[in-house]
Structure 1
Protein backbone atom coordinates (compact mmCIF):
# COMPACT_ATOMS: atom_id res chain seq x y z
CA UNK A 1 0.00 0.00 0.00
CA UNK A 2 1.31 3.43 -0.85
CA UNK A 3 2.33 5.68 1.99
CA UNK A 4 -0.58 7.95 3.00
CA UNK A 5 -0.35 11.47 1.60
CA UNK A 6 -0.09 13.53 4.75
CA UNK A 7 -0.90 16.77 2.90
CA UNK A 8 -4.36 15.47 2.07
CA UNK A 9 -5.20 13.64 5.26
CA UNK A 10 -7.58 16.36 6.41
CA UNK A 11 -9.76 15.71 3.34
CA UNK A 12 -12.70 13.50 4.42
CA UNK A 13 -12.75 11.62 1.09
CA UNK A 14 -9.02 10.87 1.34
CA UNK A 15 -9.48 9.67 4.91
CA UNK A 16 -12.36 7.42 3.79
CA UNK A 17 -10.18 5.93 1.04
CA UNK A 18 -7.30 5.40 3.49
CA UNK A 19 -9.60 3.66 5.97
CA UNK A 20 -10.94 1.42 3.22
CA UNK A 21 -7.40 0.55 2.13
CA UNK A 22 -6.42 -0.31 5.71
CA UNK A 23 -9.56 -2.44 6.05
CA UNK A 24 -8.83 -4.39 2.87
CA UNK A 25 -5.21 -4.93 3.90
CA UNK A 26 -6.27 -6.06 7.37
CA UNK A 27 -8.78 -8.56 6.02
CA UNK A 28 -6.15 -10.02 3.68
CA UNK A 29 -3.63 -10.18 6.51
CA UNK A 30 -6.10 -12.03 8.72
CA UNK A 31 -6.91 -14.55 5.99
CA UNK A 32 -3.22 -15.30 5.47
CA UNK A 33 -2.27 -15.62 9.14
CA UNK A 34 -5.17 -17.35 10.88
CA UNK A 35 -3.99 -19.99 13.33
CA UNK A 36 -6.58 -22.63 14.13
CA UNK A 37 -7.43 -23.15 17.76
CA UNK A 38 -10.17 -25.69 17.32
CA UNK A 39 -12.58 -26.15 20.20
CA UNK A 40 -14.61 -29.35 20.07
CA UNK A 41 -17.86 -30.52 21.59
CA UNK A 42 -18.86 -34.19 21.84
CA UNK A 43 -19.03 -34.68 18.09
CA UNK A 44 -18.85 -31.22 16.52
CA UNK A 45 -16.15 -28.62 15.98
CA UNK A 46 -17.58 -25.54 17.63
CA UNK A 47 -15.34 -22.66 16.60
CA UNK A 48 -12.03 -21.69 15.12
CA UNK A 49 -10.32 -18.72 16.69
CA UNK A 50 -7.20 -16.91 15.65
CA UNK A 51 -4.38 -14.60 16.50
CA UNK A 52 -2.28 -12.92 13.87
CA UNK A 53 1.28 -12.52 12.74
CA UNK A 54 2.00 -8.90 12.06
CA UNK A 55 3.59 -8.28 8.68
CA UNK A 56 7.11 -7.02 9.42
CA UNK A 57 7.53 -3.35 8.64
CA UNK A 58 11.19 -2.68 7.99
CA UNK A 59 10.64 1.05 7.96
CA UNK A 60 9.72 1.14 11.64
CA UNK A 61 11.34 -1.94 13.14
CA UNK A 62 13.88 -0.89 15.75
CA UNK A 63 13.14 2.81 15.27
CA UNK A 64 12.35 4.68 18.47
CA UNK A 65 9.25 6.84 18.50
CA UNK A 66 7.78 8.94 21.26
CA UNK A 67 4.32 8.99 22.80
CA UNK A 68 2.62 11.36 25.19
CA UNK A 69 1.72 8.64 27.66
CA UNK A 70 0.00 11.14 29.96
CA UNK A 71 -2.75 11.57 27.35
CA UNK A 72 -3.55 7.85 27.11
CA UNK A 73 -5.43 5.43 29.34
CA UNK A 74 -2.97 3.56 31.53
CA UNK A 75 -3.19 0.13 33.12
CA UNK A 76 -0.63 -0.38 35.85
CA UNK A 77 2.04 1.93 37.25
CA UNK A 78 2.36 5.02 35.03
CA UNK A 79 6.03 5.22 36.07
CA UNK A 80 6.85 1.64 35.06
CA UNK A 81 10.18 1.33 33.21
CA UNK A 82 8.51 -0.42 30.26
CA UNK A 83 5.50 1.08 28.55
CA UNK A 84 3.40 -0.74 25.95
CA UNK A 85 1.10 1.14 23.58
CA UNK A 86 -1.56 -0.78 21.69
CA UNK A 87 -3.22 0.75 18.64
CA UNK A 88 -6.66 -0.81 18.39
CA UNK A 89 -10.05 -0.65 16.71
CA UNK A 90 -13.00 -1.79 18.82
CA UNK A 91 -14.54 -3.49 15.77
CA UNK A 92 -11.38 -5.50 15.07
CA UNK A 93 -11.92 -9.21 15.86
CA UNK A 94 -8.20 -9.83 16.27
CA UNK A 95 -7.98 -6.97 18.79
CA UNK A 96 -10.67 -8.79 20.74
CA UNK A 97 -8.67 -12.04 20.70
CA UNK A 98 -5.44 -10.24 21.60
CA UNK A 99 -7.08 -8.60 24.59
CA UNK A 100 -8.71 -11.82 25.73
CA UNK A 101 -5.78 -14.19 25.27
CA UNK A 102 -2.53 -12.19 25.41
CA UNK A 103 -3.14 -9.07 27.50
CA UNK A 104 -4.10 -11.05 30.65
CA UNK A 105 -0.75 -12.84 30.48
CA UNK A 106 1.14 -9.56 30.14
CA UNK A 107 -0.83 -8.22 33.09
CA UNK A 108 -0.11 -11.25 35.28
CA UNK A 109 3.60 -11.42 34.45
CA UNK A 110 4.50 -7.73 34.24
CA UNK A 111 1.77 -5.19 34.96
CA UNK A 112 0.86 -6.51 38.39
CA UNK A 113 4.45 -6.30 39.64
CA UNK A 114 4.82 -2.72 38.43
CA UNK A 115 7.41 -3.32 35.72
CA UNK A 116 5.12 -2.67 32.73
CA UNK A 117 2.30 -0.24 32.05
CA UNK A 118 -0.15 -0.66 29.19
CA UNK A 119 -1.64 2.20 27.19
CA UNK A 120 -4.27 2.36 24.47
CA UNK A 121 -4.49 4.49 21.32
CA UNK A 122 -7.43 4.52 18.93
CA UNK A 123 -6.93 3.57 15.29
CA UNK A 124 -10.52 3.49 13.96
CA UNK A 125 -10.30 2.33 10.37
CA UNK A 126 -12.79 -0.51 9.89
CA UNK A 127 -15.97 1.54 9.60
CA UNK A 128 -17.66 4.81 10.61
CA UNK A 129 -18.87 3.23 13.83
CA UNK A 130 -15.27 2.39 14.72
CA UNK A 131 -14.93 6.12 15.27
CA UNK A 132 -18.16 6.18 17.28
CA UNK A 133 -16.76 3.50 19.58
CA UNK A 134 -13.49 5.41 19.89
CA UNK A 135 -15.36 8.59 20.84
CA UNK A 136 -17.28 6.66 23.50
CA UNK A 137 -14.14 5.10 24.92
CA UNK A 138 -12.40 8.49 25.07
CA UNK A 139 -15.37 9.91 26.94
CA UNK A 140 -15.23 7.12 29.50
CA UNK A 141 -11.46 7.56 29.88
CA UNK A 142 -11.82 11.28 30.56
CA UNK A 143 -14.33 10.50 33.28
CA UNK A 144 -12.38 7.68 34.89
CA UNK A 145 -9.19 5.91 33.78
CA UNK A 146 -10.01 2.63 35.51
CA UNK A 147 -13.53 2.63 34.04
CA UNK A 148 -11.97 2.83 30.58
CA UNK A 149 -10.38 -0.61 30.88
CA UNK A 150 -13.59 -2.15 32.18
CA UNK A 151 -15.45 -0.53 29.28
CA UNK A 152 -12.87 -1.82 26.79
CA UNK A 153 -13.48 -5.36 28.03
CA UNK A 154 -17.25 -4.83 27.84
CA UNK A 155 -17.11 -3.66 24.23
CA UNK A 156 -14.89 -6.55 23.14
CA UNK A 157 -17.06 -9.07 24.99
CA UNK A 158 -20.11 -7.77 23.14
CA UNK A 159 -18.38 -7.15 19.82
CA UNK A 160 -20.44 -8.00 16.73
CA UNK A 161 -19.58 -8.69 13.10
CA UNK A 162 -17.07 -6.17 11.79
CA UNK A 163 -19.00 -5.85 8.53
CA UNK A 164 -22.11 -4.48 10.26
CA UNK A 165 -22.61 -1.05 11.81
CA UNK A 166 -23.28 -2.20 15.35
CA UNK A 167 -21.33 0.36 17.44
CA UNK A 168 -24.18 2.85 17.66
CA UNK A 169 -24.49 5.53 20.36
CA UNK A 170 -27.47 3.69 21.90
CA UNK A 171 -25.61 0.38 22.03
CA UNK A 172 -22.41 1.92 23.40
CA UNK A 173 -24.27 3.74 26.16
CA UNK A 174 -26.19 0.57 27.00
CA UNK A 175 -22.91 -1.33 27.32
CA UNK A 176 -21.61 1.31 29.73
CA UNK A 177 -24.77 1.00 31.83
CA UNK A 178 -24.58 -2.79 31.80
CA UNK A 179 -20.96 -2.71 32.96
CA UNK A 180 -21.83 -0.46 35.91
CA UNK A 181 -18.81 1.75 35.31
CA UNK A 182 -19.77 4.36 37.87
CA UNK A 183 -19.68 7.15 35.29
CA UNK A 184 -22.22 9.68 34.04
CA UNK A 185 -23.80 7.91 31.08
CA UNK A 186 -25.82 11.00 30.18
CA UNK A 187 -22.54 12.83 29.66
CA UNK A 188 -21.22 9.83 27.74
CA UNK A 189 -24.13 10.10 25.30
CA UNK A 190 -23.60 13.85 24.95
CA UNK A 191 -19.89 13.37 24.29
CA UNK A 192 -20.64 10.82 21.57
CA UNK A 193 -23.28 12.99 19.91
CA UNK A 194 -21.19 16.17 20.16
CA UNK A 195 -17.95 14.39 19.14
CA UNK A 196 -16.35 16.00 22.18
CA UNK A 197 -13.11 14.04 21.86
CA UNK A 198 -12.85 13.95 18.06
CA UNK A 199 -9.55 15.87 18.11
CA UNK A 200 -7.98 13.29 20.42
CA UNK A 201 -9.23 10.35 18.36
CA UNK A 202 -8.06 11.97 15.12
CA UNK A 203 -4.64 12.70 16.61
CA UNK A 204 -4.21 9.06 17.64
CA UNK A 205 -5.31 7.87 14.20
CA UNK A 206 -2.85 10.23 12.49
CA UNK A 207 -0.07 9.04 14.80
CA UNK A 208 -0.72 5.49 13.64
CA UNK A 209 -0.60 6.64 10.02
CA UNK A 210 2.70 8.40 10.57
CA UNK A 211 4.10 5.20 12.06
CA UNK A 212 2.88 3.18 9.06
CA UNK A 213 1.20 0.59 11.25
CA UNK A 214 -0.17 -2.22 9.06
CA UNK A 215 -3.45 -2.58 10.95
CA UNK A 216 -4.75 -3.45 14.38
CA UNK A 217 -3.68 -4.51 16.86
CA UNK A 218 -0.22 -2.99 16.62
CA UNK A 219 1.94 -2.62 19.72
CA UNK A 220 4.97 -0.56 20.62
CA UNK A 221 7.25 -1.49 23.51
CA UNK A 222 9.06 1.55 24.89
CA UNK A 223 8.46 3.29 21.59
CA UNK A 224 9.73 0.45 19.38
CA UNK A 225 7.24 -1.38 17.17
CA UNK A 226 6.89 -5.08 17.89
CA UNK A 227 6.78 -6.80 14.51
CA UNK A 228 6.65 -10.41 15.62
CA UNK A 229 3.78 -12.85 16.05
CA UNK A 230 1.08 -11.30 18.24
CA UNK A 231 -0.23 -14.78 18.93
CA UNK A 232 3.09 -15.99 20.34
CA UNK A 233 3.15 -14.88 23.96
CA UNK A 234 6.64 -16.24 24.55
CA UNK A 235 7.97 -13.99 21.78
CA UNK A 236 6.15 -10.98 23.21
CA UNK A 237 7.45 -11.83 26.67
CA UNK A 238 11.00 -11.98 25.34
CA UNK A 239 10.59 -8.57 23.70
CA UNK A 240 9.31 -7.10 26.98
CA UNK A 241 12.19 -8.62 28.93
CA UNK A 242 14.63 -7.18 26.41
CA UNK A 243 13.09 -3.75 26.90
CA UNK A 244 13.33 -4.21 30.66
CA UNK A 245 17.03 -5.01 30.42
CA UNK A 246 17.66 -2.02 28.17
CA UNK A 247 15.78 0.28 30.54
CA UNK A 248 17.77 -1.07 33.48
CA UNK A 249 21.07 -0.57 31.69
CA UNK A 250 20.11 2.96 30.75
CA UNK A 251 19.19 3.77 34.34
CA UNK A 252 22.46 2.27 35.53
CA UNK A 253 24.52 4.31 33.06
CA UNK A 254 22.73 7.51 34.06
CA UNK A 255 23.44 6.77 37.70
Structure 2
Protein backbone atom coordinates (compact mmCIF):
# COMPACT_ATOMS: atom_id res chain seq x y z
CA UNK A 1 0.00 0.00 0.00
CA UNK A 2 1.41 3.40 -0.88
CA UNK A 3 2.13 5.57 2.14
CA UNK A 4 0.13 8.71 2.67
CA UNK A 5 2.82 11.28 1.92
CA UNK A 6 3.64 9.61 -1.37
CA UNK A 7 0.10 8.95 -2.51
CA UNK A 8 -1.81 12.18 -2.17
CA UNK A 9 -0.26 14.60 -4.66
CA UNK A 10 -2.18 15.21 -7.91
CA UNK A 11 -2.74 11.52 -8.61
CA UNK A 12 -4.92 8.59 -7.73
CA UNK A 13 -3.01 5.77 -6.07
CA UNK A 14 -4.37 2.24 -6.20
CA UNK A 15 -4.64 0.64 -2.79
CA UNK A 16 -2.75 -2.65 -2.56
CA UNK A 17 -5.47 -4.54 -0.74
CA UNK A 18 -4.56 -6.77 2.15
CA UNK A 19 -7.61 -8.89 1.33
CA UNK A 20 -8.77 -8.71 -2.28
CA UNK A 21 -12.19 -9.95 -3.32
CA UNK A 22 -12.57 -10.05 -7.11
CA UNK A 23 -14.76 -7.39 -8.65
CA UNK A 24 -17.43 -7.74 -11.30
CA UNK A 25 -15.90 -6.63 -14.59
CA UNK A 26 -16.67 -6.59 -18.27
CA UNK A 27 -14.78 -8.93 -20.59
CA UNK A 28 -12.73 -5.99 -21.85
CA UNK A 29 -11.86 -4.67 -18.41
CA UNK A 30 -8.16 -5.50 -18.72
CA UNK A 31 -7.93 -3.60 -21.99
CA UNK A 32 -9.54 -0.50 -20.47
CA UNK A 33 -7.21 -0.08 -17.52
CA UNK A 34 -5.10 3.03 -17.09
CA UNK A 35 -1.54 3.14 -18.39
CA UNK A 36 0.61 1.26 -15.90
CA UNK A 37 3.78 2.93 -14.65
CA UNK A 38 7.14 1.59 -15.84
CA UNK A 39 7.84 -0.12 -12.53
CA UNK A 40 4.45 -1.82 -12.58
CA UNK A 41 4.94 -3.02 -16.16
CA UNK A 42 7.88 -5.09 -15.00
CA UNK A 43 6.05 -6.60 -12.04
CA UNK A 44 4.55 -10.11 -12.11
CA UNK A 45 1.08 -8.68 -11.46
CA UNK A 46 1.20 -6.75 -14.73
CA UNK A 47 1.54 -9.95 -16.77
CA UNK A 48 -1.47 -11.81 -15.42
CA UNK A 49 -5.05 -11.60 -16.61
CA UNK A 50 -6.42 -13.09 -13.40
CA UNK A 51 -8.99 -10.62 -12.08
CA UNK A 52 -8.19 -11.73 -8.53
CA UNK A 53 -4.59 -10.44 -8.75
CA UNK A 54 -3.85 -7.29 -6.71
CA UNK A 55 -3.98 -4.21 -8.96
CA UNK A 56 -0.71 -2.58 -10.03
CA UNK A 57 -0.10 1.09 -9.15
CA UNK A 58 -1.58 3.51 -11.70
CA UNK A 59 -1.71 7.28 -11.87
CA UNK A 60 -3.92 9.98 -13.34
CA UNK A 61 -3.04 13.67 -13.57
CA UNK A 62 -5.15 16.09 -11.49
CA UNK A 63 -8.27 13.95 -11.00
CA UNK A 64 -11.58 15.75 -10.61
CA UNK A 65 -14.26 13.75 -8.83
CA UNK A 66 -17.61 15.42 -8.25
CA UNK A 67 -19.56 14.82 -5.04
CA UNK A 68 -22.61 16.84 -6.07
CA UNK A 69 -26.00 15.25 -6.67
CA UNK A 70 -24.96 11.81 -5.40
CA UNK A 71 -26.69 10.11 -2.45
CA UNK A 72 -24.62 10.24 0.71
CA UNK A 73 -24.64 9.03 4.30
CA UNK A 74 -22.95 10.68 7.23
CA UNK A 75 -21.88 13.98 8.70
CA UNK A 76 -22.11 16.83 6.18
CA UNK A 77 -19.05 18.35 7.89
CA UNK A 78 -16.89 15.23 7.60
CA UNK A 79 -13.55 15.86 5.89
CA UNK A 80 -13.05 12.36 4.47
CA UNK A 81 -15.23 10.57 1.94
CA UNK A 82 -15.57 7.05 0.63
CA UNK A 83 -17.13 6.97 -2.84
CA UNK A 84 -18.43 3.63 -4.10
CA UNK A 85 -19.08 2.82 -7.76
CA UNK A 86 -21.61 0.02 -7.59
CA UNK A 87 -23.78 -2.33 -9.66
CA UNK A 88 -26.91 -3.80 -8.05
CA UNK A 89 -26.52 -7.08 -9.91
CA UNK A 90 -22.87 -7.56 -8.92
CA UNK A 91 -22.46 -10.26 -6.23
CA UNK A 92 -19.32 -8.60 -4.87
CA UNK A 93 -21.22 -5.35 -4.34
CA UNK A 94 -23.71 -7.37 -2.31
CA UNK A 95 -20.88 -8.97 -0.34
CA UNK A 96 -19.44 -5.56 0.47
CA UNK A 97 -22.81 -4.20 1.56
CA UNK A 98 -23.67 -7.13 3.83
CA UNK A 99 -20.23 -8.06 5.19
CA UNK A 100 -18.03 -4.95 5.26
CA UNK A 101 -20.18 -1.84 5.01
CA UNK A 102 -21.91 -2.34 8.41
CA UNK A 103 -18.59 -2.03 10.26
CA UNK A 104 -17.50 0.96 8.17
CA UNK A 105 -20.82 2.60 9.00
CA UNK A 106 -20.50 1.86 12.70
CA UNK A 107 -16.87 2.91 13.09
CA UNK A 108 -16.57 5.82 10.67
CA UNK A 109 -19.89 7.03 9.24
CA UNK A 110 -22.02 7.00 12.40
CA UNK A 111 -19.18 8.61 14.37
CA UNK A 112 -19.03 11.54 11.97
CA UNK A 113 -15.54 10.96 10.61
CA UNK A 114 -16.44 9.77 7.10
CA UNK A 115 -19.15 10.58 4.60
CA UNK A 116 -20.14 7.77 2.23
CA UNK A 117 -21.23 8.51 -1.34
CA UNK A 118 -22.91 6.21 -3.86
CA UNK A 119 -22.27 6.36 -7.62
CA UNK A 120 -23.81 4.09 -10.23
CA UNK A 121 -21.72 1.91 -12.51
CA UNK A 122 -24.18 -0.58 -14.05
CA UNK A 123 -22.24 -3.12 -16.13
CA UNK A 124 -24.96 -3.32 -18.75
CA UNK A 125 -23.16 -5.75 -21.06
CA UNK A 126 -23.07 -8.51 -18.44
CA UNK A 127 -25.85 -7.53 -16.00
CA UNK A 128 -29.16 -7.14 -17.80
CA UNK A 129 -31.02 -5.61 -14.84
CA UNK A 130 -28.23 -3.39 -13.53
CA UNK A 131 -29.41 -0.19 -15.21
CA UNK A 132 -33.07 -0.77 -14.37
CA UNK A 133 -32.19 -1.38 -10.72
CA UNK A 134 -30.10 1.80 -10.63
CA UNK A 135 -33.06 3.69 -12.07
CA UNK A 136 -35.31 2.24 -9.36
CA UNK A 137 -32.93 3.42 -6.64
CA UNK A 138 -32.62 6.88 -8.19
CA UNK A 139 -36.38 7.19 -8.50
CA UNK A 140 -36.76 6.22 -4.85
CA UNK A 141 -34.24 8.97 -4.08
CA UNK A 142 -36.63 11.45 -5.65
CA UNK A 143 -39.08 10.56 -2.87
CA UNK A 144 -36.45 10.59 -0.12
CA UNK A 145 -36.04 6.80 0.13
CA UNK A 146 -32.81 6.09 -1.74
CA UNK A 147 -31.00 4.24 1.03
CA UNK A 148 -34.03 2.09 1.81
CA UNK A 149 -34.34 1.04 -1.84
CA UNK A 150 -30.56 0.63 -2.05
CA UNK A 151 -30.62 -1.77 0.90
CA UNK A 152 -33.61 -3.68 -0.45
CA UNK A 153 -32.02 -4.19 -3.87
CA UNK A 154 -28.76 -5.43 -2.35
CA UNK A 155 -30.31 -7.80 0.17
CA UNK A 156 -33.31 -9.24 -1.65
CA UNK A 157 -33.34 -12.95 -2.31
CA UNK A 158 -35.53 -12.36 -5.35
CA UNK A 159 -34.19 -11.93 -8.86
CA UNK A 160 -34.04 -8.30 -9.98
CA UNK A 161 -36.96 -7.50 -12.27
CA UNK A 162 -39.43 -4.72 -13.11
CA UNK A 163 -42.04 -6.48 -10.97
CA UNK A 164 -39.67 -6.46 -7.99
CA UNK A 165 -39.02 -2.72 -8.32
CA UNK A 166 -42.75 -2.04 -8.20
CA UNK A 167 -43.12 -4.39 -5.23
CA UNK A 168 -40.35 -2.63 -3.33
CA UNK A 169 -41.80 0.78 -4.17
CA UNK A 170 -45.09 -0.39 -2.65
CA UNK A 171 -43.35 -1.75 0.46
CA UNK A 172 -41.52 1.57 0.89
CA UNK A 173 -44.80 3.50 0.60
CA UNK A 174 -43.66 5.40 -2.47
CA UNK A 175 -46.10 7.22 -4.70
CA UNK A 176 -46.20 4.53 -7.36
CA UNK A 177 -47.53 6.75 -10.13
CA UNK A 178 -44.59 9.12 -9.63
CA UNK A 179 -42.23 6.17 -9.30
CA UNK A 180 -43.39 4.60 -12.56
CA UNK A 181 -43.19 7.92 -14.40
CA UNK A 182 -39.69 8.44 -13.06
CA UNK A 183 -38.54 5.05 -14.36
CA UNK A 184 -39.40 6.24 -17.87
CA UNK A 185 -37.81 9.68 -17.47
CA UNK A 186 -34.70 9.87 -19.65
CA UNK A 187 -33.21 12.47 -17.32
CA UNK A 188 -32.72 9.76 -14.71
CA UNK A 189 -30.72 7.69 -17.18
CA UNK A 190 -28.63 10.75 -18.06
CA UNK A 191 -27.78 11.18 -14.37
CA UNK A 192 -26.58 7.58 -14.22
CA UNK A 193 -24.61 8.05 -17.43
CA UNK A 194 -22.79 10.93 -15.76
CA UNK A 195 -21.45 8.51 -13.14
CA UNK A 196 -20.54 5.98 -15.84
CA UNK A 197 -18.64 8.62 -17.84
CA UNK A 198 -16.75 9.72 -14.73
CA UNK A 199 -15.79 6.13 -13.96
CA UNK A 200 -14.49 5.65 -17.49
CA UNK A 201 -12.43 8.83 -17.22
CA UNK A 202 -10.87 7.43 -14.06
CA UNK A 203 -10.25 4.04 -15.76
CA UNK A 204 -12.68 2.32 -13.41
CA UNK A 205 -14.37 -0.60 -15.17
CA UNK A 206 -15.28 -3.03 -12.37
CA UNK A 207 -17.51 -3.01 -9.33
CA UNK A 208 -17.33 -2.42 -6.53
CA UNK A 209 -14.65 0.26 -6.81
CA UNK A 210 -13.95 2.80 -4.10
CA UNK A 211 -12.37 6.23 -3.93
CA UNK A 212 -11.14 7.41 -0.54
CA UNK A 213 -10.15 11.05 -0.28
CA UNK A 214 -10.47 14.49 1.23
CA UNK A 215 -13.67 16.46 0.74
CA UNK A 216 -13.16 19.97 -0.61
CA UNK A 217 -16.49 21.60 -1.27
CA UNK A 218 -18.24 19.38 -3.80
CA UNK A 219 -15.12 17.61 -5.06
CA UNK A 220 -12.79 14.88 -3.83
CA UNK A 221 -9.02 15.37 -3.58
CA UNK A 222 -6.03 13.39 -2.23
CA UNK A 223 -7.57 10.25 -3.65
CA UNK A 224 -6.80 6.55 -3.28
CA UNK A 225 -8.58 3.90 -5.34
CA UNK A 226 -9.51 0.36 -4.32
CA UNK A 227 -10.92 -2.24 -6.72
CA UNK A 228 -12.95 -5.06 -5.23
CA UNK A 229 -14.40 -5.31 -1.73
CA UNK A 230 -11.41 -4.89 0.55
CA UNK A 231 -11.40 -5.99 4.17
CA UNK A 232 -12.55 -3.54 6.82
CA UNK A 233 -8.94 -3.37 8.01
CA UNK A 234 -7.81 -2.17 4.57
CA UNK A 235 -10.40 0.60 4.56
CA UNK A 236 -9.54 1.56 8.14
CA UNK A 237 -5.83 1.79 7.36
CA UNK A 238 -6.46 3.99 4.34
CA UNK A 239 -8.74 6.30 6.32
CA UNK A 240 -6.25 6.59 9.18
CA UNK A 241 -3.35 7.21 6.78
CA UNK A 242 -5.33 9.97 5.08
CA UNK A 243 -6.28 11.50 8.43
CA UNK A 244 -2.61 11.67 9.39
CA UNK A 245 -1.69 13.14 6.00
CA UNK A 246 -4.37 15.82 6.33
CA UNK A 247 -2.99 16.75 9.75
CA UNK A 248 0.46 17.36 8.24
CA UNK A 249 0.75 21.08 7.34
CA UNK A 250 2.71 20.61 4.11
CA UNK A 251 0.12 18.13 2.77
CA UNK A 252 -3.06 20.05 3.61
TM-score of the alignment, normalized to the shorter chain, above 0.5:
yes
Contact 1:88 1:216 in 2 (8 A): yes
TM-score (norm 2): 0.70
Residue 106 of structure 1 deviates from its aligned partner by: 0.7
1:82 equivalent in structure 2: 80
Of residues 147, 162, 170, the one that matches 1:169 is 162
1:239 equivalent in structure 2: 238
1:218 equivalent in structure 2: 209
Structure 1, unpaired ranges of 5+: 1-20, 34-52, 161-165
Q: How does 1:1-255 map to 2 (within 5 A)?
A: 22-24=25-27, 55-60=54-59, 65-125=63-123, 126-144=126-144, 147-158=145-156, 166-178=159-171, 180=172, 182-222=173-213, 223=220, 224-227=223-226, 230-249=229-248
Spell out, residue by residue over 1:25-79, the C-alpha distance to the aligned partner (whole angstroms, 9 max, x if none).
Answer: 67xxxx967xxxxxxxxxxxxxxxxxxx674153248x66333222110111122
Secondary structure (helix, strand or coil) at the match of 2:238 reads helix
What root-mean-square deviation, in Å, do the aligned CA atoms of Structure 1 and Structure 2 show? 2.9
Q: Per chain length, whose mean CA-contact separation is higher, i.e. which structure has more relative contact order (CA < 8 Å, sep 6+)? A: 2
Residue 247 of structure 1 deviates from its aligned partner by: 2.8
Higher helix share: 1
Change (3 A) 1:157 1:76: same
Equivalences, count: 201
Change (3 A) 1:64 1:221: farther
Q: Hey, what's the Cα distance between the residues in 2 that align with 1:229 and 1:199?
A: 26
Higher strand share: 2
